[in-house]
Structure 1
Amino acid sequence: MRFILKSAFWLTVAFMVIRPGVDLPAAAGAVTSQALAAGQSAIVQQIDKTECNTLQCVGGKALLSAAVTSAALPAPAPVTPMQISTTEATAPVPRPRPAWLG
């Protein structure tokens, strides 16, 4: 009985996490962009908290702040679907059958 209850619980949790109609790559991308934005704002806030007395320090803060906010992720490489990609170069070619085998 305990096994059935545990199984039902985990199946319910799995269905709630991966339910029909959810685009997982888009959801993961949205979470990633939110995390990056939060990290960038935290870094910029820490840079802005630094007290500066010299022009060089102020310029360095400005440069760091601009670099952090303008940094972007590289574009992902295009992926060729398996159905379209060719296997000629990667698949081994079998040796010809010996004549004495018929």
Structure 2
Amino acid sequence: MRNMNEMIRQAQVMQRKMSQKQDELKAMIVEASSGGGMVTVRVTGGQEVVAVVIEPSVVESGDVEMLQDLVLTAANEALKKSKELMEKELSSVTGGLNIPGMF
């Protein structure tokens, strides 16, 4: 019974740390660009897109398909960086354990 209580206590501590780390991640920002900086997307460590910056010259070109590709590329790269940041930060709490549903 004593070991079970200790395991429950450790799980509760880990849960609090995970919650705190997730809150911290929401304040962290990563960004990615495409087209040599023509499009930049910023994403939080919580996987939320917070900004899309498009150089005016891209819009002026009138090439909608190219603009869509640039936004898509930058957004996917920013989300990938965000996921990597999240995994790194949360693994510091879990001690490297891969807990299903956490990432």
Query: What TM bracket, shorter-length normalisation?
Result: 0.3 to 0.5
Q: How does the TM-score come out when normalised to structure 2?
A: 0.34
Larger CA Rg, structure 1 vs 2: 1
TM-score by length of 1: 0.34
Q: Which has the higher strand share?
A: 2
Asked which structure has the greater RCO (Cα within 8 Å, sep 6+), the reply is 2
